[in-house]
Amino acid sequence: MKRYLRRLVKVKTKMKIQHIPFEKLADMAERRQSPKENEAMHSHLSDCQDCSNQLAKLEKLVNLMLTDTAEDAPPAVVARTLNMFRPREMKEEKPSIIERVMAVLSFDSRQLSPAFGVRSGQSVARQLLFSVGEHDLDLRVAPDDGAWVVSGQVLGECENGEVLLRGASASESAQMNELCEFTLPRVPSGKYSLVISFSNTEIEVPEFELKA
């Protein structure tokens, strides 16, 4: 009997709760209600979490819209931006012509001859600058505990750049970062050629020797 009565109270209590219709909440969020209507609704809102939450969402939404003073970009600027885009060729569909260029040594921190070699006993990296058409290559070679570290940077655009160091005793490769810098893993002494590839260009650095 007691259990039945408790259940009856719960059902009757539920039936009493009538939520505020969404349209009324929207009126309230937009301040379209009269003070009297507001007062009546506030009384319910103080007891009803669901209606309170719904009203809060509506008020926030309405406020965001009413205070939206964002500006459109000038039409001419938008038009120029649209024109930046050029439809791309799918790389696997069309072969591209690769331009191969030989790097020309323009500066050597040790003023070596074109048939250059790098000797151990130097405690600092050696810098070599090469000119390659529209690009420049800043190459650094440093001894590292009996081996050598070759690193550098391409000065100019180098999209998706890769570097390959090829020698009789070892070969290593590296990807360039977004600043066109690269650092190759250590390699032993020996003769090497260096090939740098990016876009449709391959730059070849003349064979050089790293020796102790």
List of residues contacting other proteins (CB under 8 A): 22-23, 26-27, 57-58, 61-62, 64-68, 70-74, 77-78, 80-82, 84-85, 87-90, 178
- Position of tokens 């570097």? 163
Beta carbon nearer to other proteins, 77 or 98: 77
- In angstroms, give the least distance from the CB of 159 to other proteins: 8
Beta carbon nearer to other proteins, 176 or 187: 176
Whether 209 and 118 have beta carbons less than 8 Å apart is answered as yes
- In angstroms, give the least distance from the CB of 162 to other proteins: 15
Beta carbon nearer to other proteins, 34 or 67: 67
Beta carbon nearer to other proteins, 58 or 147: 58
Whether 171 and 165 have beta carbons less than 8 Å apart is answered as yes
